[in-house]
A and B are shown apart, each in its own frame.
Chain A
Amino acid sequence: MIVVLSRSMTILLLLKVFFCFSAVSHSQITRLYSRFHSLDKGENGALSREDFQRIPELAINPLGDRIINAFFPEGEDQVNFRGFMRTLAHFRPVEDNEKNKDPNSGEPLNSRNNKLLFAFRLYDLDRDDKISRDELLQVLRMMVGVNISDEQLGSIADRTIQEADTNGDMSISFSEFIKVLEKVDVEQKMSIRFLH
């Protein structure tokens, strides 16, 4: 554990300076590093998809594979601690931003917009910034398993696109997505609060 902590000191410095994690406390980063280290069975400083799938509660989550995918950038199979923290930063509660109002830091990762973008990307399988009918069907199929027939699932998808689509291209763009969810308390539903 001593070795683990001293490595984290260097990482902390890097993170604080370059990636505006200054609002995340020292103990939170240390805890997350400890968690990262315990998931990293291969001890090579990076997590693979298998490392995530070893978490039983994630493996039984119907959207487990999509969530795991969100951690890995396009075409990569390994995520390091920086990438791990970057993805988790989307789930920081929004009030934390009040402490550090830095005008030059740009939009923080845990803004309402970025949280919605995270959810949008869960639906958008081919990363083309549009949710097509096919993609919606596939995600729905993941969530319901074998319990609903193809026709019914198809009609659900059609209805959903009909309601959300404003420009008539039979797919949901990000701005249409935001419009559909404007009344939902995204900040609360997509936030994880640390105990200390």
Chain B
Amino acid sequence: MGLLESPFNSLLCMLLGISFTVWFTLLLVFIVVPAIFGLSFGIRTLYMKVLLKVFEWATLRIERGAKEKKHLLYKPNTNGIIAKKPTSLEEELKEIRRNGSGRDLDGSSPTFAVSDIFYFCRRGVESIVDDEVTKRFTAEELESWNLLTRSNYNFQHISARLTALWGLGLLIRYCCLLPLRLTLAITGVTLLVVFTTIIGFLPNGRMKNFLSEKVHLMCYRICVRALTAIITYHHSENKPKNGGICVANHTSPIDVIILASDGCYAMVGQTHGGLMGIIQRSMVKACPHIWFERSEIKDRHLVAKRLSDHVEDKNKLPILIFPEGTCINNTSVMMFKKGSFEIASTIYPVAIKYDPRFGEAFWNSSKFGMVSYLLRMMSSWAIVCSVWYLPPMSRQEGEDAVQFANRVKAAIARQGGLVDLLWDGGLKRSKVKDTFKEEQQKLYSKILWDHNSSP
């Protein structure tokens, strides 16, 4: 028995050894080395082109199959499902009253018409059928199918070829791509922790900053490859500089990796425990990031002070902040919290737009935890996005923080092709404040007193 085992064992060991070496060499050559130098072999772009062709074919096939079987296709509603007239309260009420009562408005007392209720009624029911806010907190619906079950609305076994393709896709994604990506992710994170800890032992100075920059960039680039993220950066001449604050729209935690693989930033966030905590503690050894304890976050003055101190030191890296405060589904930009706009420094806006055909990047935190979200990311086809660096902006004379925040938000929305909303992203979890209802009531009261000078 012993005699038979040992050649078998040694054969097994040899095979394992060889496959590990090959695997490691491939990893090193194709991924780690380009990551260090910021180069690319173009493999990912080729992959993306192939995928697009496949999706086009799949969509045509579904449409043809549906026509043959006389099924009706479900077409997703990208621009809203009902026609909403953008008339204001005042205009509509005037219109209804003009047509209704021919009564003269004597102007000495408030005028009320029984028909006033129609406006509120219709607007209310319109918002029940389709509203601007709640749909921003779920993933966007795709116009064509991308062979993922999770984004499927129309697939009902149209053809054997399509099913086979879908099955093949499933196999490739879960058996080839997922393990590869997981390995890369683990490598990237481990290297980050190890190298930043080592660099932490160096004395503060130019060498330390230089090395820290290189290490951070390399590890983030490995993580980018771990997600098969294909990113196009536009207007790199506007990249954020030291002493500035970089603001961007927020869709998922991956935004950080995408931005940080092209430039060095000081991160802002809450301290966590566990793996995140380890990463945070080692990162801060190599270069100053701003981590807050949970209790400190409530104290707005403390937060503002720490941010201003960081920004004043021109040797420190630009701060990266997501003013929406929560993840939005990348079809719109919601209210920017004014905290970061109150600090006196230059703002570098960045717009990030994901292409949802290759994988839905939005993190729906009420539906998925962090781990299942990352697994979904790593088992989609790819993450394709565009990043635009917008020219720097500063607060103008006579502009307050809220107006400045809205100006920056409008610029980001315009560049990214996103809808600019005034609603607070916090509405994902909390109820809307009563002050908004009171505003509506005030507006209506003013109309009742329309022809009167004093309230």
Contacts and interface: CB of A to CB of B under 8 A. Distances in A.
Interface of A: 1-2, 5, 26-27, 30-32, 35, 38-39, 52-64, 67, 88, 91, 118-119, 122-123, 139-140, 143-148, 152, 155-156, 159-160, 164, 172, 177, 180-181, 183-186, 189-196
A139 B116 CA distance: 11
A35 B76 CA distance: 12
Interface of B: 72, 74-75, 77, 79-83, 92, 96, 99-102, 109-110, 112, 114-135, 138, 152-153, 155-156, 423, 427, 431-432, 436-442, 444-446, 448, 455
Contacts of B444: 62, 143-144
Nearest to A141: B441
Query: Nearest 3 pairs between A and B by C-beta?
Result: A145-B441, A147-B445, A57-B127
A152 B109 contact: yes
Contacts of B121: 63, 67, 118-119, 122, 190
A184 B123 CA distance: 18
A194 B427 CA distance: 27
A68 B175 CA distance: 49
A26 B75 CA distance: 11
Q: Taking chain A's interface residues, is the majority helix, strand, or loop, or is none over half, making it mixed?
A: helix
12 contacts: A1-B153, A2-B155, A5-B153, A52-B128, A56-B133, A63-B121, A64-B437, A144-B445, A156-B109, A160-B114, A181-B100, A184-B100
B109 A55 contact: no
A190 B92 CA distance: 12
B74 A5 contact: yes
A119 to B, nearest CB: 6
A180 B126 CA distance: 25
A144 B155 contact: no
Contacts of B446: 147
B115 A193 contact: no
Contacts of A88: 125, 128-129
Given A1-B153, A183-B101, A27 B72 contact: yes
Contact of A56 (B118, B131, B155, B442): B131
A107 B74 CA distance: 31
A25 to B, nearest CB: 9
A193 B129 contact: no
Q: Taking chain B's interface residues, is the majority helix, strand, or loop, or is none over half, making it mixed?
A: helix
Nearest to B445: A147
B134 A38 contact: yes
A62 B119 CA distance: 11
A39 B31 CA distance: 45
Contacts of B80: 195
B437 A59 contact: yes
B434 to A, nearest CB: 9
Given A26-B72, A57-B127, A119-B117, A62 B440 contact: yes
A64 B122 CA distance: 11
Given A55-B131, A143-B444, 11 more contacts: A2-B156, A5-B153, A31-B81, A62-B440, A64-B124, A156-B109, A180-B114, A183-B100, A189-B119, A192-B83, A193-B83
Given A147-B455, A193-B83, A59 B129 contact: no
B82 A185 contact: no
B74, B114, B117, B432: residue with the most chain A Cβ atoms closer than 10 Å: B114
Given A27-B72, A118-B121, A143-B116, A195 B441 contact: no
A166 B132 CA distance: 43
A195 B124 contact: no
Contacts of B155: 2
Given A35-B129, A184-B96, A195-B83, A54 B441 contact: no
A192 B129 CA distance: 9
A62 B122 contact: no
A196 B81 contact: yes
A60 B124 contact: no
Contacts of A147: 441-442, 445-446, 455
A183 B117 CA distance: 15
B131 A192 contact: no
